[in-house]
Structure 1
Amino acid sequence: MPQNRLANETSPYLQQHADNPVDWYPWGEEALNRARAEDKPILLSIGYSACHWCHVMAHESFEDPATAQVMNELFVNIKVDREERPDLDRIYQTAHALLSQRSGGWPLTVFLTPDDHTPFFAGTYFPREARYGLPGFVELLHRIDALYRTRRTDIATQNASLRDALGRIEARAAMSDDRLDASALDQARGELARAYDRTYGGIGGAPKFPHAPTINRLLRHWSATARDGRADDKALEMAIFTLERMAEGGLYDHLGGGFARYSVDEKWMIPHFEKMLYDNGPLLALYAEAHAATGDPALARVATETADWVMRDMQSPEGGYYSALDADSEGVEGKFYVWTREEVHQVVGADDYPLFAARYGLDRPANFEGQWHLYGAAEPAALAAGAGLTEDALRERLDRARARLLERRETRVHPGLDDKVLTAWNALMIRGMAVAARHLGRADWADSAQRALDFIRTQLWRDGRLLATYKDGRAHLPAYLDDHAFLLDAVLELLALRWRSADLDFAVQLADVLLEHFEDEAHGGFYFTADDHEQLLQRPKPTADESLPSGNGVAAYALARLGHLLAEPHYLDAAQRALQAAAGVIGQSPSAHCTLLDALEEELDPPTLLLLRGPLAELAPWQQAAAGYAPTRLTLAIPSEERGLPAALADKPAPARGVYAYLCRGTHCEAPITDPAELHKALG
């Protein structure tokens, strides 16, 4: 079968549709011009490679010649990967919500007028034949065509209202006169407590997502109150219990490490099996930080297994991190991950099977379509006591069984790998690896993060501008707010782990691009697309945390930290303007803006800068003295061999012998400390 126009795209999702009989176009001038010239509505289909229902709709409709014939006759058909084009996805998901008054998702199916690309009908998955209360897809196609041909005036009126509504959303993102103070931090804490699931952890009910910004906010809230001598131990309990329950549930891969996208149930037992890089980067950082805060070895174990999985399965030979693993293998969701009792018994052996079965739920009823998906069914301490074993002995036997099962699982047909490299998602994992390496002392994780950053600088940084995606030697698409903000934050975390002057230079370049091309200079805050980006139906300025942290929140947080580090007021001012611009929406729903609240916390109480200067070989004991969970402290160890530092760093020189530790809060720096024990005491 001849391939359509998607065959030459970098997106694995688009390539999956290259053999469809549908005359697919990628988003671009060729398709838009044809729709305008032929006066045909645009059928815009947005999805991603690891999306189960995207596969279902593709198999039912897009691979069907009869359905494709109707699509080709009546519409210009455009297929978009929401991971490569989050700008389009963000706009048309918002439009879907306005048109349908319900939340969206993927696949997103939108019908646009050909002249101005305004959506006049939107939905998500449609079956080939009518069911689930939904019309059949071919029936829908004919109805949409008739609507477009006979009701142009009504469509024009609705489109004008929709564009007006999108404009009002933009206007709400303008600078607010609301006062910024610490009350929003306490309000968010209260909102999260009210939505907290006291039985199983997490926020809200099923489906339940591992929402890293909210857990991070609870950890930071506890830390801030502890510094003030009024430790909010309940906030710590909510964060840690959620992390524990997620790791014990089937959301976590107990054999290979890493977390699935979400749990379909409130107990975290059965996941939607896709694994996304953007979830695992922030979760890796969280588990390492939670271990640093509590000393719990179980949290360190989860971080270790997750980081090792990323390096084993998700890092390319070139250095970049891949995007996702599919939920399906051999066309069946979860098939790669589930077991029969007989196969587990055969693999782990008769001696270890009873303990393994009790630990991971095989001694209980099947939990996934007649088979077993592993989850923490029994606590190791109780299981060890019942078996007359020490916990170490039990762990050794379970680890041996897990290794055997992982080896067996590797012989199965693997889920599809989305091997494109996305700048924003790589930044989240670079940061996760750097944070975990710093807290858990793993040089190989630091190397992994450094390789990924070097890959991005080599392949996706061109002529002073960042690109969004890379695959098979081709980098393209202008980068978005998230790419720049997340990468700036990641570079700062990597600098806190290993100093490289070139990385600081790169951070400054990224910050300058953010200010020059993304900032709303009139009202503050940052647009999702650059000022020279393709003109679309809307230019959003997103503030809330969604499946990814808020780009405005991360930008404000990272720019402020860079401003304090370099004593550069223009970075600090941009961060403050972004916070003021978002003050109104923060006030309406503080807990929906946890990343912005992290930036607000450091705006109200500037972070501590700890600068270590001395010979490279002598810095390690000082870094160890500064170890621990301190989310509002930025520690940098700069070898005395470094030359050409910015003025704010050069004025804190290394001594002739030994090491100096400069402890700065805001604009005030104390006299240099010359003994690691004295530093440890000064840090409390």
Structure 2
Amino acid sequence: MSEGQKKNHLESEPSPYLQQHVHNPVNWYPWEDEAFQKAREENRPIFLSIGYSTCHWCHVMAHESFEDEEVAKLMNETFVSIKVDREERPDIDGVYMQVAQMMTRRAGWPLTIIMTPDKEPFFAATYIPKETRFNTMGMMDLCRRIKELWESDQANIRQVIERVKGALSNDEVVYHGVDMSTKDQLDLGAVDSAVKQLEGRFDEKKGGFGTPPKFPSPQNLLLLMRHWKRTKEERSLEMVLKTLVEMRRGGVYDQVGYGFHRYSTDDEWLLPHFEKMLYDQAGLMMAYTEAFQITQNGLFSDTVQEIAEYVLRDMTAPEGAFYSAENADSEGVEGKFYVWSQKQIQDILSQREAAIFGKVYGIERNGNFRDEATGEETGLNIPHMRFDSEDVAKEMSMEPSQVQQILDSAREKLFHAREHRVRPSRDDKILADWNGYMIAALAKAGTVINDSALVEKAEKAIEYVLSELKDKSNHLLHSLKRKNEGIPGFLDDYAFVIWGLIELYEATFKSDYLSEAKVLMDTLFEKFWDSEKGGFFFTAHDSEELLTRRKDIYDGAMPSGNSTALYNMIRLARLLGDPDLEQKAADMVGAFSSEIARMYSAHSMMLVGLDFALGKSYEVVLAGKKGDELLEDMVKEIRRRYIPNKVVLLRASEEQSKEITRLAPYTEFHNPVRGKATAHVCVDHNCRLPTNELSQMLEFLDEK
């Protein structure tokens, strides 16, 4: 509402928080006798809303519901509504926060309490969306449900009130208030079911899932790591680590030149199909990055850096964008570029180097590479880590560092020798979706392993995508035919480029990336969204008409476009404080829920998004000047920890913050406290008090 429009009963209140709600269409009262008397006279329940001015989710709920005429009409018909500033009335806040903890096991702001005119609570919640979302009842349905209960089921209400009163007096815990659960919605049980299905196909000996051919499927690993984070079920993490270690040791990894081949034709990860795809490098870089966050295992960070080295060396165009693939064949023979006879290795390396390299990497005189069709020995070898360098060092009475030095020298010599061979042909198409995926991986990896060069390469690539892979209408192109002309972008192009932009924003805190992500998300809805049934079509509304328009939700070699879009929608919704976007995410999950339930593990990336939406999640707004030591320490610690379901914004000095405030208006009040760098942390839609203390911020982020 504008300043000139009708005001509610908060107009005379001095609290800045209450003043923010003066022009809401909700007929707010302050906490005063007039409100309770009105409720008694009209026989209405009280809707009590408690928050504070810098509470992110308070502003989200205000914008989504309290500023909405439709919600306000229902609230005004059903309740007498009271607004309380928790900082102004900590007494009221303290009592009803205890009630909320008893009834819901959750605490934080915004705090919502529904109670009788005699101040007896019978319902508690924190953030509530406008519309029912996932398993959270929305304000519209809540108003109708409370009205129904109030008018026809006072006995149920009274029963809840007595339980709450008894718990307060006896210091017990009430687990459930009035039943507000929704039905027929996917919940976190879908993630648990997917994990069980993956476990049923897990290769206990060599990791991975299913029978040969064995594919990397990094989205399965991302889901398992999130499941471990949420449940602390070690089995989920064990499957991830076993798979990543065995893949890194196997022939499916190019031990000489780095990067992963397409898949393994056997169950040992030894014999690959030698093609190298950009998207495999991107997905696996992400998986190894997250595994490093969890374990701090140097093998994983080394693998991340090696994949990046391969991509930047062999798969990068002069303009900074990324090529698509390298062929499996050279000189008409699959794998010829990558395999070695024992004699070739001995001719290149010193005797000592050849012995140690051959021992560690399984080099045999008759070869370990058998012809796939006949099974016959070829006399050629695929280097793979048969033994650990530490074990070989012990066997040879050497220091592990000496052995590693020899292995590094040997690898470098073999690499340079291999460069004189005829290379496999390279597919130099530059595709928007695959580039977006790699940009996301590089940006994420660079922040986690603290390698700014990787972030810079991602920035150079996105610059190319946003300048060259667009048509004259500023819409994405899938690939170029000529400048500003090419194949119109598909769902996947928008989804993966948006992913890259989000990762780049959190890696650099440059608001342009966040702004562009929002623009592309708006275009995605405009051009691809199915307004009748939900979800995104693969092709745009104005695309060439084919026999059918499909919607892809199954994950393949890459996560599906709809799955990736869902993940982006939830992250952008949290970054921007956009409940409408999160509602659309819920609508999408609802649209696909029956299909997902047919085979949960075929939709791992969709479930990664669901885990973000329903699992423990965090929003962090950092306020302070760039370069401030405390601020840098906060950023460093956030990036070091494995907290997958989080978003982080930086509100720097006032001048730098204007664009962020425009994009995410809720951050307007997220200022440095006492002139120091400040972390504003919200956990599960519940906002903690701002803190200047690094230890306090970490305590919030480590909440179980």
Check whether TM > 0.5: yes
The equivalent residue for 2:391 is 382
DSSP-derived class of the 2:480 partner? strand
The equivalent residue for 1:342 is 343
The equivalent residue for 1:675 is 693
The equivalent residue for 1:659 is 677
Question: Aligned equivalents of 2:435 and 2:599: distance in 1?
Answer: 29
Question: Aligned equivalents of 1:601 and 1:315: distance in 2?
Answer: 34
Paired residue type of 2:416: E
Contact 1:468 1:475 in 2 (8 A): no
1:551 aligns with 2:552: no
Contact 1:218 1:236 in 2 (8 A): yes
Q: Deviations over 1:364-414 (max 9, x none)?
A: 641223211111111222112111223222111101100111111111111
Bigger radius of gyration among the two: 2
1:622 aligns with 2:634: yes
Contact 2:327 2:427 in 1 (8 A): yes
Paired residue type of 1:625: E
Question: Aligned equivalents of 1:268 and 1:475: distance in 2?
Answer: 41
Contact 1:498 1:637 in 2 (8 A): no
CA apart distance, 1:678: 2.5
Contact 2:365 2:379 in 1 (8 A): no
Paired residue type of 1:643: K
Question: Aligned equivalents of 1:355 and 1:491: distance in 2?
Answer: 44
Question: Aligned equivalents of 2:323 and 2:682: distance in 1?
Answer: 39
In the alignment, which of 533, 539, 543 is matched to residue 529 of structure 1? 539
- Matches for 1:331-370 after TM superposition, within 5 Å: 331-363=332-364, 365-368=366-369, 369-370=378-379
CA apart distance, 1:178: 4.1
**Backbone CA RMSD of aligned residues:** 1.7
CA apart distance, 1:558: 0.6
Q: Deviations over 1:559-613 (max 9, x none)?
A: 1111111111221111111111110011111011111111111222363111212
Question: Aligned equivalents of 1:458 and 1:451: distance in 2?
Answer: 11
Paired residue type of 2:253: Y
Q: Deviations over 1:606-660 (max 9, x none)?
A: 6311121211112321112222111112223343233232212333234573311
Question: Aligned equivalents of 1:420 and 1:323: distance in 2?
Answer: 6
Question: Aligned equivalents of 2:652 and 2:469: distance in 1?
Answer: 29
Question: Aligned equivalents of 1:202 and 1:594: distance in 2?
Answer: 15
In the alignment, which of 425, 429, 433 is matched to residue 424 of structure 1? 433
Contact 1:566 1:649 in 2 (8 A): no
| Structure 1 runs (4+) greater than 4 angstroms displaced | 471-475
In the alignment, which of 498, 516, 519 is matched to residue 529 of structure 2? 519
Paired residue type of 1:271: P
> CA distance change for structure 1 residues 522 and 248 in 2, over 3 Å: closer, same or farther?
same
Paired residue type of 1:634: V
- Matches for 1:575-614 after TM superposition, within 5 Å: 575-605=585-615, 607-614=617-624
Contact 1:327 1:333 in 2 (8 A): yes
The equivalent residue for 1:403 is 412
> CA distance change for structure 1 residues 633 and 364 in 2, over 3 Å: closer, same or farther?
farther
CA apart distance, 1:303: 0.8
The equivalent residue for 2:210 is 204
Question: Aligned equivalents of 1:535 and 1:651: distance in 2?
Answer: 49
Moved more, 506-515 or 637-646: 637-646
1:449 aligns with 2:450: no
DSSP-derived class of the 1:468 partner? strand
Q: Deviations over 1:396-434 (max 9, x none)?
A: 110110011111111111111111110000011011101
> CA distance change for structure 1 residues 316 and 639 in 2, over 3 Å: closer, same or farther?
farther
DSSP-derived class of the 2:380 partner? coil
Question: Aligned equivalents of 2:333 and 2:542: distance in 1?
Answer: 43
The equivalent residue for 1:180 is 186
The equivalent residue for 1:121 is none
Question: Aligned equivalents of 1:673 and 1:629: distance in 2?
Answer: 21
The equivalent residue for 1:633 is 646
DSSP-derived class of the 1:611 partner? strand
> CA distance change for structure 1 residues 677 and 603 in 2, over 3 Å: closer, same or farther?
closer
Q: Deviations over 1:190-228 (max 9, x none)?
A: 100000000111001111111111111111110111xxx
Question: Aligned equivalents of 1:472 and 1:280: distance in 2?
Answer: 27
Paired residue type of 1:642: S
The equivalent residue for 1:567 is 577
Contact 2:439 2:461 in 1 (8 A): yes
Q: Deviations over 1:148-181 (max 9, x none)?
A: xxxxxxxxxxxxxxxxxxxxxxxxxxxxx94211
The equivalent residue for 1:250 is 251
The equivalent residue for 1:491 is 501
Contact 2:470 2:485 in 1 (8 A): no
1:302 aligns with 2:303: yes
CA apart distance, 1:517: 1.1
Question: Aligned equivalents of 1:181 and 1:263: distance in 2?
Answer: 34
Moved more, 629-638 or 514-523: 629-638
Contact 1:264 1:271 in 2 (8 A): yes
Question: Aligned equivalents of 1:535 and 1:585: distance in 2?
Answer: 25
> CA distance change for structure 1 residues 475 and 270 in 2, over 3 Å: closer, same or farther?
farther
In the alignment, which of 210, 222, 225 is matched to residue 228 of structure 2? 222
- Matches for 1:231-250 after TM superposition, within 5 Å: 231-250=232-251
Question: Aligned equivalents of 1:609 and 1:482: distance in 2?
Answer: 27
Question: Aligned equivalents of 1:473 and 1:255: distance in 2?
Answer: 37
In the alignment, which of 627, 644, 660 is matched to residue 659 of structure 2? 644
CA apart distance, 1:332: 1.3
Paired residue type of 1:564: R
Q: Deviations over 1:237-276 (max 9, x none)?
A: 0001000001100000111111010111110001110100
The count of residues paired between Structure 1 and Structure 2 equals: 504
The equivalent residue for 1:128 is none
Question: Aligned equivalents of 1:471 and 1:345: distance in 2?
Answer: 47
DSSP-derived class of the 1:415 partner? coil
The equivalent residue for 1:433 is 442
The equivalent residue for 1:293 is 294
CA apart distance, 1:493: 1.1
> CA distance change for structure 1 residues 666 and 393 in 2, over 3 Å: closer, same or farther?
same
Question: Aligned equivalents of 2:366 and 2:675: distance in 1?
Answer: 67
Q: Deviations over 1:513-539 (max 9, x none)?
A: 111111111111111111111001111
Contact 1:325 1:416 in 2 (8 A): yes
Paired residue type of 1:316: A
> Structure 1: any 5+ residue segments left out of the alignment?
1-176, 226-230
CA apart distance, 1:666: 4.5
Question: When the two structures are superposed, what TM-score results if normalisation uses the length of structure 1?
Answer: 0.72
Question: Aligned equivalents of 1:558 and 1:526: distance in 2?
Answer: 13
Q: Deviations over 1:42-99 (max 9, x none)?
A: xxxxxxxxxxxxxxxxxxxxxxxxxxxxxxxxxxxxxxxxxxxxxxxxxxxxxxxxxx
CA apart distance, 1:683: 1.9
> CA distance change for structure 1 residues 656 and 506 in 2, over 3 Å: closer, same or farther?
farther
DSSP-derived class of the 2:659 partner? coil
Moved more, 341-350 or 357-366: 357-366
Contact 1:564 1:666 in 2 (8 A): no
DSSP-derived class of the 1:540 partner? coil
CA apart distance, 1:233: 0.5
Paired residue type of 1:644: E
Question: When the two structures are superposed, what TM-score results if normalisation uses the length of structure 2?
Answer: 0.70
